[in-house]
Chain A
Amino acid sequence: MKKLITILALGLTTFLHAEDSLQFRNDSIAVQNDISFSHFAVFLDGGEIYPMGDLMDAVKNTLYGGVGIRYTYWDDVDGIVMFQYAYFKPNTDVFCDGAHQFMGRVGADWKWKLIHPVVLGAGFTCNWTRADAEEKYYDERGSSLNDNETEFGWYARISLPVFKYKEYSAGFHVLWEQLWTLPNRSNMLSAGITIERSLW
């Protein structure tokens, strides 16, 4: 009966409120098998971003740079967190000189042995943009960027680490991203290099 009451109480709790979303930390087997963060690295990356499709009429190619971390998630999968910045100049006549864009990405890299050393990755991306303008316009094309604008999307990328020396490595990557914008989705391709240092 005690267990029944406990189950009823748990059921009611679930009904009323979100359950403890961090409950998994109490699973001793999961904790024991968790190898996350057994390796940890920081990296710098930079390159060029190319707008694709109709976005080519909106903004020009531009350079970007950023920092990131890489950590072990599973044996064959690394977790990735990236923060990048780019300044986009318009490719059409709009009120602003350009727009600041910060990009945050969270995803995973799959180290598939079959295609080693090529690494496949994917994840979610969040872009924050704001127009670089002194004055505000409300009805002009692009004026929504007077205020902070944020949009999410997803990315897929291929990385090719070609150089490794002690705790340092470097390589190339190509990344394709799609932002869930309207009236059309926004696609961009970026290519660049990564320099990484393993901390442990």
Chain B
Amino acid sequence: MNSFVNKMISVLAVFACSVFASVDAEMEGMEVVSRDDGTFLVGSPTFYFDRVLGTGGVHSESELWTPRKLRYRKLFNRLSILPSWDPIAIPSIWMETGNELGDMIYQDFITEKVDRPKNRTPILEGGIRTPLFHGFWATFRLFQDDHYSYVSSRVYRRFLIDKSFSLLGENLPMFSSVYGGLGYTNDFIEASVLAGMEYIWIFSESSRWIPIKYKPRIEARADFDNFSTTLVYENIEYQNQRKGEFGERHEVNGSVAYNCGEKCKRGMLQLSAGLAFRFVDDDGDVYTGLKNDRVLWPYLEMRFIPMKPLKLDVMFGVNDRDWLVQDSIEYQVPAFERMNISVGAKNIAGTRLNPIADTHEFFDGDTISLTANGYMNLLQAYVYFEDSLTNFIGFGARGSFWAEYGAETFDVKEFVNDTIFTFRHGDVARINSWIKGVTGEFWLKLWYKDLLKFTALTGFERIDGNEKRFEVNPSEFFVSFNADWLIRKTFRISHSLRYRSDAAWNLRSQDPFIVKGDWYWDATFEQRFPKWGLSLAGTIIQALGDEVSEIPNGDSSRMRFFCTAKKAF
């Protein structure tokens, strides 16, 4: 293998784990809680702002549609892993339970009412995937995250719904999900059909929490040859008991994708293509709308490698309403052994970041348009450098300059106060001027066999422009220290100490909503039993850091602990 490929492999392999601490996420799709290599503001398992410093633009990652999110969940106009309907790939059984720390237990006997802390809420997951039986397997999963739910449920959300809005317990969690189903796997096909029900609170452009109940939700998948197909049926119930409103949406959505296979990936020109679609039928009070009740989104992906150090990627999607282009070019500069230098540029342009999302929200007689005229264009150029000095130390840096025209924002016409919440009327709009940013990241890595992997990472970003009507002013700098210890190959301690500077939400309340910068510390302790395929783990999250709400109308992110047991069959 030539040195270029060697270098690429080492750089990618090291970089893949450089920004992610190995601290366990409290649930699949909640990895953002333990990240601060950018601006990650979590207001609920079902709504967060996630923007990696260095990606450019003022949008968050979950707002942007890409082909790799074809099987993500669509939560209003965002794309989310959680609540994941990806069947767990390993035949196994697992269980998880945890709690926000600070229930009173017997302290309640000696605590006056005025001194009582707010109630703490739990987390629960259990599931199984059976081993293959003549190619067939079955799976079942029940999961519910009650974190970030208490205050909003007491003062507002519980008045919107019927008595019960969760599968378990007496809290009002932001989501509660259960599904089960059958699958079939052999050398040529992997297929599954899952059915279940869900309670989810979605966060809308008006800043309302909207309860939706999927009953049932059915998802069928089939992956064969180089094709991936997905078909979903959802019966979604809407309600607002306070106003006596009820509605129902019947939705069919899914995708068909052709992915460049192994033989294709050996070629100079690599092509993939697909189609995502949604068809909806609304009845009664449904608080969002999709123009023409349908969206078809065909797309094409292309990778062109004219010579080994040069790579061009293009994704293009278009339909009768929108178009979206994401392309990039990267050149690997010839350099010394163990050293990787690359320069590149990327471009995102389109009429809408997420073309398959609903187009309207309906709020107290107002129709909020979720689309804006014109288009956005994000351009970014970057330089990347990494050097592995020895076989136990390495360092690197990445710098970029970006400029965005027509960034999506929100034109606020009016704020409305309701209990402790503030809602907004208006329309999605654009910032029709250039916003410019410059970013820099530096990292140092140390590793020793499989005993220790340590990364120190810091980054800064400076944003400038004539208009600053961004939904979120990203944090300007961060620093993080991540370490993974593997003692005697079977006991893992992963921990992450991080600081993120202030961030601010601008358009969701009369005054900017400041999320103060703070230090955070998370840690996982795991007993591994390789011979038995067994893992017992305990994780503490946000052991440092003030308990603050990170989004307007959101609940506090609290210190919490959860433990997990997993056993492979």
Contact = CB atoms under 8 A, between A and B. Distances in A.
A126 B563 contact: yes
Nearest to B107: A181
B89 A150 contact: no
B170 interface: yes
Contact of B563 (A18, A124, A148, A180): A124
B28 to A, nearest CB: 6
Contacts of B568: 22, 25
Contacts of B533: 22, 25
Contacts of B490: 24, 30, 34, 36, 73-74
Interface in B514-533: 525, 527-533
A34 B92 contact: no
Given A37-B529, A180-B102, A20 B90 contact: yes
A141 B16 contact: no
Pick the most buried of A3, A17, A21, A179: most chain B CB atoms within 10 A of its CB. A21
Contacts, number: 187
Interface residues of A, number: 68
A151 B25 contact: no
Contacts of B155: none
B566 A22 contact: yes
Interface string B269-280: 000000000000
Interface string B538-569: 10000000000000000000010101001010
A141 B98 CA distance: 25
Interface stretch (A8-16, A111-119, A162-170, A190-198): A8-16
A149 B104 contact: yes
Nearest to A6: B9
A182 B103 contact: yes
B420 interface: no
Interface residues of B, number: 67
B529 A3 contact: no
Interface stretch (B110-118, B226-234, B384-392): B110-118
A22 B25 contact: no
Contacts of A126: 97, 563
Contact of B529 (A7, A12, A34, A55): A34
B489 A30 contact: yes
Contacts of A148: 169
Contact of A33 (B112, B265, B489): B489
Given A37-B529, A152-B561, A183 B8 contact: no
Nearest to B270: A5
Interface in B471-493: 488-490
B130 interface: no
Given A11-B12, A33-B489, A150-B99, A99 B527 contact: no
Interface string B1-15: 100010011001101
Contacts of A11: 12-13, 15-16
B294 to A, nearest CB: 27
Nearest to B17: A14
A129 interface: yes
Interface of A: 1-5, 7-8, 10-12, 14-18, 20-22, 24-25, 27, 29-31, 33-34, 36-37, 51, 54-55, 57-59, 73-74, 79, 88, 90-92, 94, 99, 106, 108, 124, 126-127, 129, 139, 141-145, 147-152, 179-184, 186
Interface of B: 1, 5, 8-9, 12-13, 15-17, 20, 24-25, 28, 31, 68, 81, 84, 86, 89-90, 92, 97-99, 101-113, 115-117, 119-120, 122, 169-170, 262, 265-266, 488-490, 525, 527-533, 535-536, 538, 559, 561, 563, 566, 568
Q: Which 8 A-B pairs have the closest CB atoms?
A: A182-B102, A11-B16, A34-B531, A58-B109, A25-B533, A180-B101, A30-B530, A182-B117
Given A74-B488, A183-B117, 11 more contacts: A7-B9, A16-B68, A21-B566, A25-B568, A30-B489, A37-B529, A141-B110, A144-B116, A152-B101, A180-B561, A182-B120
11 contacts: A1-B5, A14-B16, A15-B16, A24-B490, A25-B530, A36-B531, A106-B538, A141-B109, A144-B108, A150-B103, A186-B105
